[in-house]
Amino acid sequence: MHANVRRILVAVGDLRSAPKNELRKAATLARKAKVGIELFHVITEPDPGRSYPETATARQVAERRGLIAAKVERRLERMARDRSLKGLDVDCAASWDFPPHEAIVRRAEFTKAKLVIAAIRRHRFGARMLLTNTDWELIRHCPVPLLLVKSRRPYRRPVVLAAIDPFHSHAKPADLDPQLLDTGGSFAKLLRGRLHVFHSFMPLMAFEALAGGPPVPLMPEAELAHEDFVAGEVKRLAAKAGVTGKYCHLCIGNVADALDAVTRRLHANLVVMGAVSRSALARMFIGNTAERVLDRLSCDVLVLKPAGFKSKILAKPAVANLRTVPNVHQVPRFARPARSPSRRSHAWTSAVA
């Protein structure tokens, strides 16, 4: 992470109960890096100013807005008093906005957050391609590192596993692997853990079969040469990140199956992987590795975008898409703009652009 990181944004979806796992892990990272935390909630209740403007006076609309905002404020501030956050600089903010994933991206960019923390929940296989939901849309559109919390295990000398792809399957950018290794190394160092490297590949026989027609028998020497070549590339990248061959894990087979097996064997706490935003049509044909793997993993996942990724989400919501008031500053008595960055020193390194 950059030395100028100032804020971790925790996306709070359900105000009825505090997201304990997310708060504890946000607190651990914030203390180690000496940064602040913001608890952010997207208000999905209809804005009184738009839901019944013809039947209410301006004063009645303002009072109703105040009641809704006050309720959100009380619940967020109750979460901010959680014991895990004691002694930390914690802000609370809310926004009338829609859809929620766009609101979260807008808030992250407005506050210049360098990490967004959210919970990930299981979905049916077909649902993630047919339905628009916050989890998958954040994976596609969030321009800053996105930590998806799936496990209750704390970060105590964690095993951090960077899932790299030196051969750039599905046209992933060539500079994404060094970014994954740098970021994974930064988190491992910050949390006094250990960085491991993972890569899964298919045998040459599988590529022959996919080319059409019956598989062509290959000499064992060809398969061994292929494996040696793949292993050499992975170890070369790992060595640049200071990871020795002992901590490199090469597997033959499906990425989701192999990565799940390795994380369980290592008792990994965090997998660092890249995601490239694609259209729904492209995902139907070539799939999205990040989304497929997330269903299988039981540990936390840190999703990164390639350097230079620009979100297509508008800085302000389009009026046609609004259900509620778009600007966080229009929530009365409540949402505060981000504080000016302090001059404290920070522990995170400059791994993420």
Summarised one tens digit per residue, pLDDT across range 153-179 is: 999 999 999 999 888 665 567 689 999
| DSSP-H helix ranges across 35-118 | 48-51, 58-80, 100-110
Going from the first residue of the chain to its last (353 residues), give the mean pLDDT of each consecutive group of 10, the final group possibly shorter. Answer: 67 89 96 95 81 73 85 93 94 89 93 88 47 75 92 95 82 80 96 96 64 61 84 94 96 90 97 74 48 82 89 66 34 39 34 29
Per domain, the residue ranges of the chain are 1-143+310-353, 151-307
How many other CB atoms are found less than 10 A from the CB of residue 311?
Answer: 18
Residue type, 97: D
| Residue 198, pLDDT score | 97
- 129 exposure class (CB count in 10 Å sphere: 0-12, 13-18, 19+): middle
pLDDT of residue 147: 95
pLDDT at site 196: 98
**pLDDT value for 121:** 59
3-state secondary structure of 330: helix
For residue 99, cis peptide bond before it (omega within 30 degrees of 0): yes
Q: Check residue 341 and give its pLDDT.
A: 39
Buried b / exposed e along 208-226 (16+ C-beta atoms within 10 A): eeeeeeeeeeeeeeeeeeb
CA-CA distance, 218 to 208, in Å (whole number)? 9
Mean pLDDT of the chain: 78
Buried b (16+ CB within 10 A) or exposed e, 174-195: eebbebbbbbbbbbbbbbebbb
DSSP helix/strand/coil, 191: coil
Residue 253: CB atoms within 10 A of its CB come to 14
Q: Which CATH superfamily is domain 1-143+310-353 in?
A: HUPs (3.40.50.620)
Using CA atoms, how far apart are residues 19 and 268, in angstroms rounded to an integer?
22
Same fold, 1-143+310-353 and 151-307: yes
> Which pTM was predicted?
0.80
What tens digit of pLDDT does each residue of 27-61 get?
999 999 999 999 999 998 877 777 666 677 888 88
**So what's the pLDDT on residue 340?**
41
| Architecture of domain 151-307 in this structure | 3-Layer(aba) Sandwich (3.40)
For 188, 209, 223, the CA distances from 220, given in Å and listed in that order, are: 38, 16, 5
Which H or E run contains 234? helix 220-240
Burial 255-282 (b: 16+ CB within 10 A, else e): bbebbbebbeebebbbbbbbbbbbeeee
